Amino acid sequence: MILIHKSLEKKIISIHRKDDARVILMNLNIDGIPISICNVYAPNDEYIRRDFFNNLKFWIARHTDNENELILGGDFNCAINDNDRKNIRGNRDVSRTSLTNLLKSLKLNDAWYIQNSLPHFTFTDPGNGSQSRIDYFFISNTKNYKIKNTFLKYAPIPDHHSAVFMVYKVNDNKKGKGYWKFNSKLLRSPDLRPLIIKIANECRRNYPDINNRTRWELFKIQVQEACIHLGVHWAKKKKECFNILQCEIDILNKNESEGVQIDTAYRDKLTKNLDNLYKEKDDGYLIRSKIKWVEEGERSSKFFFNLEKSRQSRSISLDQTSFN
């Protein structure tokens, strides 16, 4: 699966999928630059995986529109070097050479090591406690865009400890914030009611000579500005809490990967609190999607509206005919 943020200005050119549903490639145009994004889920068996990597380089070369602007990511089920594995016994993975050759042929670099010197494991086997970094993003060496940040982040649902996120800085153009919408969760804040009362009293005191309608409009503007400020402050505090929980969980996971004994009950408590914050984020996404539906509607709404108008017109004509 490849997800593209709705606010990104792009033009999707083509999408290709392998028959085994393990690879999907999207060709798109961003700011006039053709870019290919490929997501991979490699097989678990190392011999099947070896053949998978050997065939993948030809498949990508056949379907990509621009090999010089390629992003290859996903679950490769293979560590590209020994530093990306810990407490793993047995012979070396036979598919590693094929993966290395794939990266060389496509001239791709490991995005993690561009900004980080030490590995951070993305998967822990619950059976034997072995750890590995098998989730990667590989990128072309290009001047058209650059990596702004790479990091590992706790993911609440998958069996992998962390999901890999990459932020690409394609351009610095910023859009406006659009229409303001009141965040109803601010009603839970104990600071909101005293704030509104204070604004109302200030409006009466500072604008005694204007009519009530004008004063009401000024009051609404000041309430909006105060709510925006309060919402930003609230969101900032929640983000700080989110980052603290995320950081503590990452530190505990890192200590565990290094063989340090940790308090698993405390980590579970932090994880539960972080999951609750994720749930609040999900609720926010749901509300914003409903707002968008109300504002923009469905694409087919105009069609059904015209269909209903036509149906009503025919119904009126028939009624008039029957009456006459």
* Greater model confidence, 170 or 95: 95
Q: Is residue 18 domain-shared with residue 155, that is, in the same domain?
A: yes
Q: Tens digits of per-residue pLDDT, 103-144?
A: 999 999 888 777 776 667 777 776 777 777 788 888 888 766
Mean pLDDT of the 37-56 span = 93
Structural domain harbouring 156: 11-169
pLDDT band at 79 (very low <50, low <70, confident <90, very high): confident
- Stretch 291-313: mean pLDDT, rounded? 58
Residue 79 counted as domain residue: yes
Q: Are residues 136 and 221 in the same domain?
A: no
Distance CA 241, CA 320 (A): 68
Tell whether 116 and 263 lie within a shared domain.
no
Residue 309 lies in a domain: no
What is residue 319's predicted lDDT score, i.e. its pLDDT?
45
Question: pTM of this prediction?
Answer: 0.53
Confidence grade of residue 292 (pLDDT, cut at 50, 70, 90):
low
Q: Does 88 lie in the same domain as 21?
A: yes
CATH number at residue 20: 3.60.10.10
Q: Quick one: 137 and 284 in the same domain?
A: no
For residue 4, tell me if it sits in a domain: no
Which of 27, 23, 22 is closest to 70 using CA atoms?
Answer: 27
Cβ pair 42, 22 in contact under 8 A: yes
Residue 231: the pLDDT is: 85
Distance separating alpha carbons of residues 67 and 18, to the nearest angstrom: 18
93 CB-near residues (< 8 Å, 6+ apart): 46, 78, 79
Residue 320 lies in a domain: no
pLDDT reading at 322 higher than 50: no
Check residue 203 and give its pLDDT: 86
Q: Which residue has the tokens 């601010």?
A: 186
Pairing of strands 70-75, 33-41: parallel
Cα 304 vs. chain centroid, distance in angstroms? 33
Q: How many domains does the chain have?
A: 2
Query: Residue 15: its pLDDT value, please?
Result: 93
- pLDDT: is 78 or 90 the higher one? 78
Mean pLDDT of 246-259: 85
Question: Is 227 found in the same domain as 195?
Answer: yes
Task: Count other C-beta atoms under 10 Å from residue 28's C-beta.
Answer: 19
Output the pLDDT for position 296.
Answer: 59
At which residue do the structure tokens 């469905």 appear? 298
Does any domain span residue 254?
A: yes
CA distance 53 to 48: 9
pLDDT at residue 174 in the model: 52
Average pLDDT of span 85-93: 67
Q: What is the mean pLDDT of residues 261-281?
A: 86
Q: Which of 113, 135, 169 is the last residue of a domain?
A: 169
Which amino acid is present at 64?
A: T
Which residues make beta-bridge pairs with 25? 16, 38
Radius of gyration of the CA atoms of the chain, in A: 27
Please tell me the predicted confidence (pLDDT) of residue 271.
87
Residues 155 and 205 in one domain: no
Q: What is the pLDDT of residue 204?
A: 87
Say yes or no: 26 and 134 in one domain: yes
Mean pLDDT of 44-51: 93
How high does pLDDT run on average in the chain? Answer: 78
In this structure, the answer to whether residues 149 and 273 fall within a common structural domain is: no
Would you tell me the crossing angle of helices 212-257 and 264-296 to the nearest 10 degrees?
A: 140
